[in-house]
Amino acid sequence: MYLLNYLSLQLAQQLFIAAGRYRTGQGLVGPKNGVNLQFFVPGAEHYAHNLPFLTIAVYLNGQRMALLDDYIVVESGGSGMGFDSIILNEAPFIDDHVTADYVIA
């Protein structure tokens, strides 16, 4: 309650919205075969990609990967259709774990 007195109304609304739609530790969908590079968020959801504040955080075997260095974000349905997948720079193998934290758009 007291914290809201110090936050702008817009920031308070953004924090409330993000808290209700935040997904953490979600397994990304796609074949892990040492060849496939593209993975999708589960359930046909779209994630927010609004740099520098909101974007998907991707983890490979628990280690956070760097946006642009290790992966890029993709709108698989075309521009303006919503971000729903990522493309990794290196393909994971069958025993690797690819997870992500994101806010639903």
Look up the pTM and report it.
0.80
- Number of other residues whose CB lies within 10 A of the CB of residue 98: 20
Structure tokens given for 102: 């994101």
Amino acid 88 reads L
Consecutive H or E run containing 14 = helix 9-20
Q: Print pLDDT tens along the chain (105 aa).
A: 444 445 555 555 566 655 678 889 999 999 999 999 999 999 989 998 887 778 899 999 999 999 999 999 999 988 888 999 999 999 999 999 999 999 888
Buried b (16+ CB within 10 A) or exposed e, 58-87: bebeeeebebeeebebeeeeeeeebbbbbe
